Amino acid sequence: MAKVVGGLGTSHVPSIGAAVDHGKTQEPYWKPVFDGMLPAKAWIEQVKPDVCIIVYNDHASRFALDLIPTFALGVGESFAPHDEGYGPRPVPTVEGHPEFAWHLAERLIQDDFDLTLVHEMTVDHGLTVPLSIAFGQPEAWPCRVIPLCVNMIQYPQPSGKRCYQLGRAIRRAIDSYPGDLRVAIFGTGGLSHQLQGERAGLINREYDQRWLDRFITEPAEVAKISAVELMRETGSEGIECTMWLVMRGALDDTVDVVHRFYHVPASNTAYGLLVLENSADTGAEQHRGAEAEALG
């Protein structure tokens, strides 16, 4: 039977991808950020997911103002990196898992989620940067990937409550899949940042850390936070953290924190990274040992 091996939350700062692609990860500016990622890499190497469901937002790449799905699920065979204006990232094409994706589509739609199903789509930094954070620079991504794109660009965005409910429904769908799959779920985006206007460069460390605390222990309450509050406190792009709630909803109510990392700045963004496992799972202590070893 399919099994959720854990959830990973991460910012998807595009300049992180550029640092990876251009060999700058060990430069003084970037080294603290990439050092903080090492325990997450060690964890994912140990749990070895067969499939990663990556929840991300498209940045007017595949979807523009002429077509704005609230939730779009990639059901195709593969998904190439998008050209965001400077050529596609030099990363492998994402290989999908159509059989599992169609199972998710069927169960989620029957669970009253109106999904847009996408056979052909390119994926931008919102999806490829988290893969680089988790897996580095392999010749091919070591697992299948199911893209789940959430509208965080154009008002009205789905609420935190709806994203959390979607995560719950995804968990039910995974639990009902008859195949033997190890599934990891990534929630991406955020944390506090704003790219334009009078508040460009906004970072709210205190709010980010408090949000992370509550996200771990009381996610149903965090899901009630309004978009207005998130944008006021964390900036217009900080609202992306709502997508982490899809990941959290797919986990148990009680989780173990395998790794938590926060760093400012990563470009003009507060970078956050969180690895969670269901508390009932065994092996958490082993994973924490891998974290300590990775940190040296």
Query: Which of 193, 259, 263, 287 does the annotation list as catalytic?
Result: 193
Q: Are strands 78-79 and 94-95 parallel, antiparallel or unpaired?
A: antiparallel
Q: Is 193 in the active site? A: yes
Residue in this structure with the two tokens 């978009």, named with its chain if needed: 227
Query: Which of 125, 259, 263, 287 does the annotation list as catalytic?
Result: 125
Pair 82, 97: CB distance under 8 Å = no
The type of residue at 159 is S
CA–chain centroid gap for 278, Å, is 17
If we measure between CA atoms, which residue out of 219, 211, 230 comes closest to residue 168?
Answer: 219
Q: Can you say whether residue 85 is alpha, beta or left, with left for phi > 0 and alpha for psi between -120 and 50 degrees? A: left
- Give the neighbor-by-neighbor strand order of the sheet with 269-278: 116-118, 71-74, 144-150, 51-56, 182-188, 3-10, 269-278, 255-266
Task: Tell me the C-alpha to C-alpha distance, in Å, between residue 239 and each of 17, 127, 192.
Answer: 21, 17, 8
DSSP 138-196: -SS-SSEEEEEEE--SSSSPPPHHHHHHHHHHHHHHHHT--S--EEEEEEE--SS---S
Element containing residue 225 per DSSP (H, E): none
End-to-end C-alpha distance for the chain, whole angstroms? 36
Q: Is 125 in the active site? A: yes
Q: Which residues are catalytic?
A: 125, 193
